[in-house]
Chain A
């Protein structure tokens, strides 16, 4: 994705609202005017642990409108449990916006958004941007069960048709969301996906079968989130516009990839440029 001209900063925010649309899934709204203004679709933030003594948590920026942003998170461990427990009025320091988001214009005018679980967090802003650009959008949204498909109405309000998929078959397509994408009745001009790595790999395979260019927002454990530690790399085509300049490891080497930082060069990459 083209490098974004953004101005990340540490934002001192206040929790403005909190809701729990499904058990274990929480949306934390933040009063963060500067962050709301500067966030582009597909960017993320590092949330400073409110109690200290833990690592920061990387989360996609879900909503950004007016003076409010929100974070969508699944409670999976102590860090997310701490964030999910924040009540309105609590202070939260947030580093962002970070990373290069989706290249929205490159997705075309009939776009498949593909979300796995809380990967939907990185797809609402692209949906809104696509609608503003006059594009048609379809959200293929997979989760373990019907309850975990959250905020469908927000995506519908952003103009997306929703194709649900559930692991247990309780709602929509029974099985993987990538299979729902493969079975799609329409030919999309582009795919934008976010979710767990196995799901993204499956989406990349389907995109190849359908010959549809796909942008994947990768979920990975970040340490710094700002490109300093090189802990979150992914093998990327040496010829990619996003590949960091890096000399061959040995003379005559044929290795055709470099290690790009997901947090810095990404987190969004073209599926066909990944060597994973």
Chain B
């Protein structure tokens, strides 16, 4: 110690009305409801958990196998297995009050009305701090991702959910589109408070011995370090196109990975598959980002958001 009081850099971020002390969310479908990881890390150290997506009706999910490891990543096709909003509200949501971090509900649907209905029901609960709209699940046939791939439908789903709640609304975008910036602008115009960029990248692996796809669903969503460059570019492009904050995600395992997203223009990051490699990843990311800012003399994370992106359009 040199006797000089070193102020720890401010890592806080606001996504609409949702305030996070640290800029890390845990990706939907990767973290359960948080309690699954509570034995391994102190959940005070994460910004928040994005819950597994819930739909209007119960879903059994896809046939097995649902996972296929691939180079630097993995394919998954879970198929939105969930108990449906009624049973979820009755049996699960009350437990989330105990989480020492933000709790973001995730809503998936197959119609504009689904998004409105489930958002309204879920957001009405005090245990839920914000809503993420999953318009980009690649694993439920064409219907799931349709909303993220059609600018008009993306706008309508967002507007319907917006009308259903005043809580922070984060809309999760798909990389499986021709121009993600157009979708981003339409979703912003429809009232989203923030964008999650990106969901998984569609992919397939084939078992050559059995001459059939490795996943029961055939295709799946690719996650992990393999998709990080795709995600960084998507954030970089979206950050030039909208003013609302971006939650960058796709293959983040370390602080340096997260910094790429912040420098591209993300205000926060989300860690999904990285938790599977090491449950301490979220804490390591925060420590490393703090060290990077301290070393460079930045007082706050917002000082570096979009730094590598000359046309960054968002508010720092």
Q: Which residues of A contact B (CB under 8 A)?
A: 7-10, 48-49, 52-56, 93, 95, 220-234, 245-250, 255, 258-259, 264
Contact = CB atoms under 8 A, between A and B. Distances in A.
Contacts of B277: 48-49, 52-56
Interface in B70-113: 72, 74, 76, 78, 81, 83-84, 86-87, 91
A247 B76 contact: no
Contact of A249 (B29, B59, B74): B59
A224 B65 contact: no
Interface string B268-285: 000001011111100000
28 contacts: A9-B39, A10-B279, A48-B277, A53-B253, A53-B277, A54-B277, A55-B224, A55-B276, A56-B277, A56-B278, A95-B40, A221-B65, A221-B67, A221-B68, A221-B69, A223-B74, A223-B273, A226-B36, A226-B279, A227-B36, A228-B32, A228-B37, A229-B78, A231-B76, A233-B81, A247-B86, A247-B87, A259-B61
B65 A7 contact: no
Contacts of A249: 57-60
Given A10-B279, A231-B78, 17 more contacts: A10-B280, A48-B278, A95-B279, A221-B65, A223-B273, A224-B36, A226-B40, A228-B32, A228-B36, A229-B32, A229-B276, A231-B66, A245-B83, A245-B91, A246-B87, A247-B83, A259-B81
Contacts of B59: 249
B58 A223 contact: no
Interface of B: 29-32, 36-37, 39-40, 52, 57-61, 64-69, 72, 74, 76, 78, 81, 83-84, 86-87, 91, 224-225, 253-254, 273, 275-280
A230 B60 contact: no
Contacts of A9: 39-40
A233 B253 contact: no
B66 A232 contact: yes
Contacts of B224: 55
B205 to A, nearest CB: 12
A254 B61 CA distance: 16
